[in-house]
Chains A and B, each alone.
Chain A
Amino acid sequence: MAKHKTPLLDQLESGPWPSFVSDIKQEADARAKNEKGLDYQIPVDCPEDLLGVLEMSYTDGETHWKHGGIVGVFGYGGGVIGRYCDQPQMFPGVAHFHTVRVAQPNGKWYNTELLRNLVKIWELRGSGLTNMHGATGDIVFLGTTTPQLEEIFWELTHDLEIDLGGSGSNLRTPATCLGMSRCEYACYDTQELCYNLTQEYQDELHRPAFPYKFKFKFDGCPNGCVAAIARSDLSFIGTWKDEIKIDQEAVAAYVGGEIAPNAGAHAGRDWGAFDIQKEVVDLCPSQCISYDGKLTIDNKECVRCMHCINTMPRALKVGDERGCSILCGAKAPILDGPQMGSLLVPFMEVNKEDDYQSIKDLIENIWDWWMEEGKNRERIGETMKRLGMSALIDAAGVPVDARQVQEPRHNPYIFWKAEDVEGGWDRDINDFRKRHQR
């Protein structure tokens, strides 16, 4: 017998898509039965109370969660988000219901041993409910009480050798596409760079020292499967400098209809026979491809959009001189409107041999500048907008490059510096007056 009536939520149990309501009910049943005889460390009925409070929100159209207080583990300023219900008398099981962010393995590969160990902790010490995963990429444990936080942290670090993720004005848990683990397009080892930088900046990840949040995301190619260009303060997007490799026999097989274009992505509908002129040549954004029985690419004019490669993955391969482009300043609208990452470094080698030192130098230059200049709760994209791209380029210590802009400035209000001008800015008014009467 359910603790609370949930007529509105119950309607979300039907329909084909997986039902979170059914799953929460399933967990409520499992906890009530408690077949393993666990001594649950937070209220057994918290999933039922969660459904109760959610049903109340469905009835009155407002959330019933309060602002988080200051909760966390000793020595860290992030990783735990305080959460309290604003109707604790009605729903005591979720009166205190804090979130714990846990660092995920990069690329989100798991074995069942790790998953089973993670859920074992969360079954005993938390609500038994999770997000796999949060928007930034962390494993998210939903709902526990304050006395359990150190216990959870202890078990995670001692038993599983896993740390908490980031929250607050910290470096957030960096996220990456699956990269070289299962993708032929990856131009650098996104997972290894993500792992290396995550380890390097553990202090920044756990102890708030920034004006606001800071996100790294790593995309192996310009297809952008983790959305680095839209979501990360610093985006590392794989690219190449040399020529796209062409297998003319495979091109002929696409033209001849032996291989489905776009890896078969359009198989649900009859789009007619593959037309290489219409589907590849005419759609090339820089018009650098031609086909006359043989495919030719004018690589110097290529902007590496990936379309031809995506369309004929067996015929075309990314080049061999690979690295990444680095873009800065993406964010969602709060506060100053949405921003896309702006290209700061067109090409950087991703070199594990020197422990990615050139990338770390760049990151630290940018952070030093932002920590000095950024206002409270100002993302670096907003600092860039306020102080100018040139200021960022200067602070980052990278060369100025035409690739950093879409087009040159529209206004001639140029902030010349004294050193830019012959003779500097210091002048003598008396000398001026020798030539000009008052």
Chain B
Amino acid sequence: MAFISSGYDPAKPMEGRISDIGPRHFGEYLPPVIKENFGKWDYHEIIEPGILLHVAQSGDKTYTVRAGTARLMSVTHIREICDIADKFSGGYVRFTTRNNLEFQVETEEAAKELKAYLNDQKFPGGAHKFPVGGTGAGVTNIVHTQGWVHCHTPATDASGTVKATMDVVFDDFTDMKLPAPVRISMACCLNMCGAVHCSDIAILGIHRKPPLIDHKFLDNLCEIPLAVAACPTGAVRPSKVELDGETYKTVAIKQERCMFCGNCYTMCPSLPLSDGEGDGIAIMVGGKISNRITKPAFSKVVVPFVPNEPPRWPTLTKTIKKILDTYAQDANKYERLGDWATRIGWERFFEKCDLPFSEHLIDDFRDPAYYTWRQTTQFKW
């Protein structure tokens, strides 16, 4: 392998250097119909699952075909997307916030033709490359984090749990038969790079064992005061240990105070907490972002732990499917999952979804916990 220089000269790093230019202006990448009608859209319709129509005040129309992706994608795959965009949508393509693809076409016929074409594209193993859907009252793509593919703190995999879950709820991606949109999100640890804390259904990787302490290396790899300060519950304190006749500066951990957030590990690599048996997934439900009808809401933990069961996480996907199906059957039109649970009462939610209620579901973390306890005699048997 011969090193190929870009033109950068490490001996003169500032020569010809360009920095702080930011992104390219979005205006360069808008398809003509989008550019011409920018800020002048009149209304939209969902023609069929995965196909949107937008009509401008000028009368101009544009059809959007929306397709799901795995988010993790190779350059070969991106070139396939480019080939499709060149062939069907004038060389323009858009990614949505939930990692779907969108192609703009001019007519309904072209949209349907593109939908059929996208649905025909398959990987050799049989999976779709670009399944069309993700619109209206259905499940759209799961936003997720890196998991075991690329992250140092995950308690589970992200791409795998998402693939397994989307396979199970695929019908709700390609159809619009739910009472309201259901947003499923996935984050592989409490740090929640994916911010799943306001999702209808959240898949959340959690640890359950306090950190190990790598005493012989800790003081070399970490700033002890930072590791101590990192703990939100004050479980970490400076300490010394004798090992093999030598004294090491290190930390001690009050294990019963640990709530397994992993913040100490983020500050100090000598405090790992991953564990094959300890790690797994919590399922949260009932969050939303939108201000529609009801206020934005946090997701609530309804299953404190399911074990990691790679590659297909059957307990996780079975539980999600059960919650989704019960909601679909029981909720009113326009009623989000959390609003349904609030209306029927959470005690009824557990009953209907066939989920056990355990002490792990009663909040005991600081002030917000108080606001989740029941201060009324209004409850249901």
Residues of chain A whose beta carbon lies under 8 Å from any beta carbon of chain B: 8-24, 26-27, 30, 39-41, 47, 50, 54, 57-58, 60-68, 74-76, 83, 97, 99, 103-116, 118-119, 122-124, 128-137, 142-143, 147, 150-155, 157-158, 160-163, 173, 175, 177-178, 180-184, 186, 189, 191, 195, 198-199, 202-203, 205-206, 222-227, 229-231, 260, 262-269, 271, 279, 283, 285, 303-307, 310-311, 313-314, 332-338, 340, 376-377
Q: How far is the CB of B181 from chain A (nearest CB, A)?
A: 8
Roughly how many angstroms separate A123 CA and B76 CA in the complex, as a whole number? 9
Roughly how many angstroms separate A136 CA and B20 CA in the complex, as a whole number? 19
Q: How far is the CB of A293 from chain B (nearest CB, A)?
A: 23
A-B contact pairs, 26 of them (CB 8 A): A11-B311, A13-B123, A16-B167, A18-B69, A20-B159, A23-B74, A24-B74, A30-B76, A41-B3, A57-B157, A66-B152, A110-B29, A110-B95, A119-B78, A128-B74, A132-B95, A136-B193, A150-B10, A158-B7, A182-B64, A199-B22, A223-B290, A229-B198, A271-B333, A333-B190, A337-B368
Closest 9 CB pairs of A and B: A13-B125, A265-B136, A332-B192, A61-B276, A268-B177, A15-B167, A22-B123, A27-B74, A103-B23
Roughly how many angstroms separate A106 CA and B94 CA in the complex, as a whole number? 10
Given contacts A62-B276, A135-B195, contact A229 B22 (CB under 8 A): no
Q: State the main secondary structure of chain B at its contact with A.
A: loop
Q: Is B82 in contact with chain A by the CB < 8 A criterion? A: yes
Are A68 and B152 closer than 8 Å at their CB atoms?
A: yes
Are A279 and B127 closer than 8 Å at their CB atoms?
A: no
**Interface range for B:** 35 or more
Given contacts A222-B290, A224-B296, contact A132 B69 (CB under 8 A): yes
Roughly how many angstroms separate A57 CA and B267 CA in the complex, as a whole number? 23
Are B23 and A306 closer than 8 Å at their CB atoms?
A: no
Q: Name which residue of chain A comes closest to B84, CB basis.
A: A112
Roughly how many angstroms separate A264 CA and B51 CA in the complex, as a whole number? 11
Q: By CB atoms of chain B within 10 A, which of A17, A131, A340 has the most?
A: A17
Given contacts A112-B82, A115-B93, A158-B18, contact A104 B23 (CB under 8 A): yes
Residues of A within 8 A of B5 (CB): 151
Are A12 and B293 closer than 8 Å at their CB atoms?
A: no
Roughly how many angstroms separate A134 CA and B135 CA in the complex, as a whole number? 21
Roughly how many angstroms separate A50 CA and B72 CA in the complex, as a whole number? 13
Roughly how many angstroms separate A189 CA and B91 CA in the complex, as a whole number? 24
Q: By CB atoms of chain B within 10 A, which of A39, A162, A333 has the most?
A: A333
Q: Could you say which of A135, A147, A229 contacts B3, with CB atoms under 8 Å apart?
A: A147
Q: How far is the CB of B234 from chain A (nearest CB, A)?
A: 12
What 1/0 flags go to B173-203 for Cβ under 8 Å of A?
1011110010000010011111111100000
Are B310 and A61 closer than 8 Å at their CB atoms?
A: yes
Are B192 and A268 closer than 8 Å at their CB atoms?
A: no
Are B62 and A182 closer than 8 Å at their CB atoms?
A: yes
Q: How far is the CB of B176 from chain A (nearest CB, A)?
A: 4
What 1/0 flags go to B134-178 for Cβ under 8 Å of A?
011110000101111111111001011011101100100101111
Q: Is B243 in contact with chain A by the CB < 8 A criterion? A: no
Q: Could you say which of A97, A134, A184, A264 contacts B41, with CB atoms under 8 Å apart?
A: A184
Are A130 and B176 closer than 8 Å at their CB atoms?
A: no
Q: Is B249 in contact with chain A by the CB < 8 A criterion? A: no
Given contacts A15-B167, A60-B276, A334-B261, contact A227 B293 (CB under 8 A): no
Q: Name which residue of chain A comes closest to B298, CB basis.
A: A338
Roughly how many angstroms separate A114 CA and B269 CA in the complex, as a whole number? 38
What 1/0 flags go to B302-344 for Cβ under 8 Å of A?
0000001011100000000000000000000110000000000
Q: Could you say which of A142, A162, A264 contacts B136, with CB atoms under 8 Å apart?
A: A264
Q: How far is the CB of B173 from chain A (nearest CB, A)?
A: 8
Q: Could you say which of A106, A118, A186, A335 contacts B261, with CB atoms under 8 Å apart?
A: A335
Roughly how many angstroms separate A419 CA and B287 CA in the complex, as a whole number? 43
Roughly how many angstroms separate A157 CA and B17 CA in the complex, as a whole number? 9
Q: Name which residue of chain B comes closest to A224, CB basis.
A: B289
Residues of A within 8 A of B43 (CB): 184, 263, 313-314
Residues of A within 8 A of B194 (CB): 135
Are A184 and B42 closer than 8 Å at their CB atoms?
A: yes
Are B82 and A115 closer than 8 Å at their CB atoms?
A: yes
Q: Is B30 in contact with chain A by the CB < 8 A criterion? A: yes
Q: How far is the CB of B169 from chain A (nearest CB, A)?
A: 9
Residues of A within 8 A of B20 (CB): 163, 202-203, 206
Are A230 and B198 closer than 8 Å at their CB atoms?
A: yes
Q: How far is the CB of A236 from chain B (nearest CB, A)?
A: 14
Q: By CB atoms of chain A within 10 A, which of B76, B82, B190 has the most?
A: B76
Taking A23-B73, A313-B43 as known contacts, 7 extra A-B pairs with beta carbons closer than 8 A to each other, sorted by chain A number, are A17-B128, A60-B276, A76-B19, A135-B195, A147-B3, A268-B49, A268-B136
Residues of B within 8 A of A163 (CB): 19-23
Are A267 and B10 closer than 8 Å at their CB atoms?
A: no
Q: How far is the CB of B120 from chain A (nearest CB, A)?
A: 13
Are B72 and A130 closer than 8 Å at their CB atoms?
A: yes
Roughly how many angstroms separate A211 CA and B42 CA in the complex, as a whole number? 43
CB interface residues, B 1-36, toward A, < 8 Å: 1-8, 10, 13-14, 16-26, 28-31, 34
Q: Is B130 in contact with chain A by the CB < 8 A criterion? A: yes
What 1/0 flags go to B193-230 for Cβ under 8 Å of A?
11111100000000000000000000000000010011
Q: Is B124 in contact with chain A by the CB < 8 A criterion? A: yes
